[in-house]
């Protein structure tokens, strides 16, 4: 039975039944393995599924951890390498079950990659590909321009962005870029991946990203500008996608959306050239057209919701990093020196060159330049590469101060903190790729461990993964489908010390350490929403760490 109402009544917080925290997906045999014990004890055991002790040791104090409010002891069982199912026990308490093996991340990698399919808009999901989470066609009616209701457009397709049914170009470009760079850097892990999606013939992740790219192309106007978003005027009630029948609108062009569109189309054009020449050329021409629009409109054209609209805004303060990314990708694709001049000129503005989120995209532009096969300015190349190395070094220092081993300070626990957790892991992965700094791998693994249960709430923040996992995200179809088990592979936003919604402020006391400011409840959009660009960095990190 579908649930057609949304109950905002505060409910008791779900709490973990475990007192010792581990990565609930597991650990590779040759990886550093540490359980986090938030209480003092003299010894610990690792037991197998039959209760037999397979490893014993003494925990080491890591001191007081400010972000969690815990006094932390670490139980290092790296010496246990034999494949199997285990749990850690100490002081009469236990951890969740976990596995050691060469394939421990196969399932989570598949689920986080498949998550985008479940968020497809403009089509139905059939039972063969979607299982019990199938649904009918949605959002297929023509949309109207917000500023001129006499104009109708076909903007069907793409991915629902988050817990709502809106689609946003800048957010989608960020997610697509994470996935495309994951494929570019680690293609082998995607070549044989089977996500059970309808399309065949090219790697599944590229088929999935193509679904978003084809929607992007519909969002470009005749002059090359790109509309900022396609949404209804108000967020839909908590109904299934096909039951959201409110009128769809296309909102005005922004320079951020246009630049991000140009960048991701240029990036994709180079990647799809080997698989679909026609699509590659179409993406190239679209990117070129949008860059021409940017040249004709050098001023910042931002976006704010007009009166009468309350869907996501995705506003930004400027478009400096967006333009840099666009010019860098166009230079990487074409080798045309005019784009080199423009990207160098764009660098005169001050913006972070390792940022990999939707609001600041300088890291994507830096990667485009570093990895391009065209001629490069040696000094600029070294500058951009060393920005990643310096960032990784700083993150290592921060991780060393955290009892849970992650480079997250109190201020980092804000809305969507798990994106920050995963983009920091991306920095470690990129630094390893660029410099062969293999010490970065352990740091990246630590951040993934935290996402998957090695955290002070003992919860896996990915639906469908782990013995104690989030299951009630702020996600309309997951609420309305009447299926108790959540759509798998969705990354929850995570702890938010600001408790930025009424439900969060009701159930989480003021003064709670930021790493513990989380509730697995649909009502809490600031703690438990999902978005495509929180899933995508997790896919990147898993691709980097993936091995058989």
Say if 346 falls within a structural domain.
yes
Say if 360 falls within a structural domain.
yes
Say if 156 falls within a structural domain.
yes
Residues belonging to the active site: 164, 474, 520, 529
- What pLDDT sits at residue 65? 97
Pairing of strands 248-250, 143-145: parallel
Distance CA 8, CA 503 (A): 7
- What pLDDT sits at residue 11? 64
Distance CA 287, CA 235 (A): 31
| Mean pLDDT over the full length of the chain | 96
Say if 462 falls within a structural domain.
no
Q: What is the mean pLDDT of residues 240-246?
A: 97
Kindly state the helix (H) or strand (E) to which residue 74 belongs, with its residue range. Answer: strand 70-76
Q: What is the mean pLDDT of residues 407-416?
A: 97
- The residues near 401 (Cβ < 8 Å, ≥ 6 apart) are none
**Helix, strand, or coil here: 244?**
coil
Q: At what angle do helices 417-435 and 532-545 cross, to 10 degrees?
A: 30
- What pLDDT sits at residue 9? 62
Say if 482 falls within a structural domain.
no
C-beta neighbour count of 137 within 10 angstroms:
13
pLDDT of residue 7 exceeding 70: no
Distance CA 386, CA 393 (A): 10
Q: What is the mean pLDDT of residues 145-161?
A: 98
Q: What is the mean pLDDT of residues 48-69?
A: 97
Q: Render pLDDT for 216-242 as a digit per residue (tens, 0 to 9).
A: 999 999 999 999 999 999 999 999 999
Say if 44 falls within a structural domain.
no
Percent of the chain scoring above 90 in pLDDT: 97
Distance CA 508, CA 517 (A): 7
- The residues near 228 (Cβ < 8 Å, ≥ 6 apart) are 168, 169, 170, 251, 252, 253, 254, 256, 257, 303, 314
353 touches 362 (CB < 8 A):
yes
**Helix, strand, or coil here: 345?**
helix
> The domain containing residue 346 runs over which residues?
119-376
Domain with residue 194: its CATH number is: 1.50.10.10
Q: Render pLDDT for 494-530 as a digit per residue (tens, 0 to 9).
A: 999 999 999 999 999 999 999 999 999 999 999 999 9
Distance CA 112, CA 25 (A): 13
Say if 416 falls within a structural domain.
no
- What pLDDT sits at residue 490? 98
Q: What is the DSSP letter of 61?
A: E
Which residues on neighbouring strands pair with residue 64, listed in sequence order?
71
pLDDT of residue 79 exceeding 60: yes
- What pLDDT sits at residue 429? 98
166 touches 119 (CB < 8 A):
no
C-beta neighbour count of 538 within 10 angstroms:
32
Domains identified in the chain, total number: 1
Q: What is the mean pLDDT of residues 343-364?
A: 97
- What pLDDT sits at residue 414? 97
Give the CA distances from residue 237 to residues 3, 34, 155, 308, 536, in Å, rounded to whole numbers and listed in that order: 11, 43, 21, 17, 26
* Sign of the alpha-carbon dihedral angle for 308, 314, 318, 319: negative
**Helix, strand, or coil here: 151?**
strand
Q: Which residue has the tokens 């054209």?
A: 301
**Helix, strand, or coil here: 152?**
strand
**Residue of 346, 221, 374 whose CA lies nearest to 289:** 221
203 touches 262 (CB < 8 A):
no
Q: Render pLDDT for 10-20 as a digit per residue (tens, 0 to 9).
A: 567 789 999 99
Distance CA 169, CA 227 (A): 8
Q: DSSP string covering 79-123, please?
A: T--S-EEEEEEETTEEB--EEESTTTTHHHHHHHHHHHHHTB-SS
pLDDT of residue 2 exceeding 90: no
Lowest-pLDDT range, 5-9, 15-19, 263-267?
5-9
In the structure, how many helices (H) and strands (E) does the chain have?
Answer: 17, 13
Say if 59 falls within a structural domain.
no
Name the strands in the sheet holding 60-65, side by side, starting at the edge strand that comes first in the sequence: 34-37, 70-76, 60-65
Distance CA 274, CA 186 (A): 16
Give the tokens for residue 60. Answer: 């080491």
pLDDT of residue 4 exceeding 50: no
Lowest-pLDDT range, 8-22, 187-201, 293-307, 534-548?
8-22
- The residues near 543 (Cβ < 8 Å, ≥ 6 apart) are 109, 182, 183, 185, 186, 189, 190
């Amino acid at each position: 039975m579908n649930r057609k109402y949304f109950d905002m009544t505060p409910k008791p917080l779900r709490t973990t039944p475990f007192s010792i925290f581990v990565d609930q997906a597991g650990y590779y045999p040759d990886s550093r393995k540490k359980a986090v014990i938030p209480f003092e004890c003299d010894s610990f055991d690792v037991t197998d599924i039959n209760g037999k002790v397979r490893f014993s040791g003494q925990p080491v104090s890591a001191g007081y951890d400010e972000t969690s409010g815990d006094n932390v002891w670490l139980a290092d069982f790296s010496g246990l390498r034999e494949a199997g199912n285990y749990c850690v026990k100490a002081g009469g308490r236990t951890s969740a079950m976990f596995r050691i093996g060469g394939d421990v991340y196969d399932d989570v990698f598949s689920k986080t990659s498949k998550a985008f399919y479940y968020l497809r808009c403009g089509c139905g999901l059939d039972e063969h590909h979607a299982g019990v989470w199938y649904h009918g066609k949605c959002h297929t009616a023509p949309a109207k321009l917000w500023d001129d209701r006499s104009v109708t457009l076909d903007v069907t397709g793409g991915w629902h962005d988050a817990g709502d049914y809106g689609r946003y170009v800048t957010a989608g470009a960020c997610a697509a870029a994470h996935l495309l760079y994951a494929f570019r850097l680690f293609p082998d892990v995607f070549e044989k991946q089977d996500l059970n999606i309808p399309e065949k013939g090219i790697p599944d992740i590229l088929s999935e990203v193509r679904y978003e790219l084809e929607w992007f192309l519909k969002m470009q106007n005749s002059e090359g500008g790109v509309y900022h978003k396609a949404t209804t005027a108000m967020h839909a009630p908590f109904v299934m996608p096909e039951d959201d029948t409110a009128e769809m609108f296309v909102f005005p062009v922004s320079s951020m959306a246009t630049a991000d569109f140009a960048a991701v189309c240029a990036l994709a054009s180079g990647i799809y050239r080997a698989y679909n020449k026609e699509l590659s050329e179409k993406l190239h021409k679209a990117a070129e057209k949008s860059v021409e629009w940017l040249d004709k409109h050098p001023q910042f054209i931002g976006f704010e919701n007009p009166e009468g609209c309350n869907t996501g805004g995705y506003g930004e303060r400027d478009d400096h990093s967006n333009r840099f990314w666009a010019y860098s990708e166009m230079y990487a694709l074409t080798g045309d020196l005019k784009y080199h001049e423009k990207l160098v000129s764009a660098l005169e503005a001050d913006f972070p060159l390792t940022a990999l989120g939707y609001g600041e995209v300088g890291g994507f532009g830096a990667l485009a330049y570093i990895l391009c096969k065209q001629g490069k300015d040696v000094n600029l190349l070294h500058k951009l590469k060393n920005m990643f190395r310096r960032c990784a070094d700083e993150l290592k220092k921060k991780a060393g101060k955290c009892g849970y081993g992650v480079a997250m300070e109190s201020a980092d626990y804000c809305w969507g903190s798990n994106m920050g957790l995963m983009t920091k892991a991306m920095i470690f992965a990129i630094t390893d790729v660029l410099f062969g700094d293999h010490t970065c791998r352990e740091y990246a693994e630590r951040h993934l461990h935290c996402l998957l249960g090695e955290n002070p709430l003992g919860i896996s923040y990915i639906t469908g993964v782990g013995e104690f996992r989030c299951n009630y995200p702020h996600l309309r179809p997951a609420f309305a489908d009447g299926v108790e088990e959540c759509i798998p592979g969705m990354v929850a936003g995570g702890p938010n010390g600001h408790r930025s919604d009424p439900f969060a402020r009701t159930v989480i006391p003021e003064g709670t350490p930021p790493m513990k400011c989380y509730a697995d409840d649909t009502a809490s959009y600031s703690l438990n929403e999902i978005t495509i660009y929180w899933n995508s960095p997790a896919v990147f990190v898993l691709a980097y760490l993936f091995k058989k």
